[in-house]
């Protein structure tokens, strides 16, 4: 059985993903040059990007970047500030009332650590942000992380592990050393 957390590069599936990335990059480039007061145009392009209607209570301020779009799920009353990047190949789910600060990165795909494996596949794991959570400016959330309901992630944090509900986390990620032979 194939590993659902890996997407192999030299496959027909990757070719379809690459086509989607090119298409969505075109849509986001159009989104990011719209006049700011063109709310209807912004909503239409965001709906095209995510492949379904954007909930009317969701606000996404451009510039906004994503690589796939179809794996982003917005709850109601979500606010995404300017200059955010959502790499959603692993899936990104935002619960109701989530607040995302400017320059935040939600990255649900990655490359293998071993150099010999990097040209072969990417890894994917979903990101889930619980209802009422708030991510400050410049936060980066890495693949497979769940941030619990009502949690707060302070500005500039790199989130590598799950955050329990109603918890405040701040500061850079801790470093863990691993070595390997390639």
Give pLDDT tens digits for 116-168.
Answer: 999 999 999 999 999 999 999 999 999 999 999 999 999 999 999 999 999 99
Comparing C-alpha atoms, which of 103, 72, 97, 102 is closest to residue 87?
72
Q: Whole-number mean pLDDT of the chain? A: 93
pLDDT at position 171, please?
83
Please say whether the beta carbons of 139 and 101 come within 8 A. Answer: yes
Contacts of residue 43, Cβ cutoff 8 Å, sequence gap at least 6 = 54, 56
Could you tell me which residues are beta bridge partners of residue 92? 72, 127
What is the mean pLDDT of the segment spanning 46-70? 97
Q: What is the mean pLDDT of residues 164-181?
A: 74
The widest CA-to-CA distance across the chain, in whole angstroms, is 54
107: CB partners within 8 A, 6+ apart: 85, 87, 127, 140, 141, 142, 143
Catalytic residues: 111
Exposed / middle / buried, residue 14 (Cβ in 10 Å: 0-12, 13-18, 19+): middle
């Amino acid at each position: 059985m194939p590993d659902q957390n890996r997407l192999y590069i030299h496959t027909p599936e990757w070719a379809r993903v690459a086509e989607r990335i090119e298409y969505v990059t075109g849509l986001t480039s159009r989104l990011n040059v719209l006049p700011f007061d063109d709310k209807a145009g912004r909503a239409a392009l965001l709906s095209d990007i995510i492949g379904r209607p954007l909930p009317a209570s969701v606000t996404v301020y451009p510039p906004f970047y994503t690589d796939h779009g179809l794996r982003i799920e917005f709850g109601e009353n979500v606010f995404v500030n300017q200059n955010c990047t959502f790499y959603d190949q692993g899936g990104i789910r935002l619960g109701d009332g989530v607040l995302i600060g400017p320059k935040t990165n939600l990255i649900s795909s990655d490359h293998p650590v071993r150099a010999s494996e990097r040209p072969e596949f990417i890894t994917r794991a979903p990101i889930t942000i619980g209802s009422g959570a708030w991510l400050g400016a410049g936060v980066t959330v890495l693949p497979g992380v769940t941030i619990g309901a009502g949690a707060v992630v302070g500005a500039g944090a790199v989130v590598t592990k799950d955050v329990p509900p109603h918890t405040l986390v701040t500061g850079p990620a801790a470093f863990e050393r691993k070595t390997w032979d390639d």
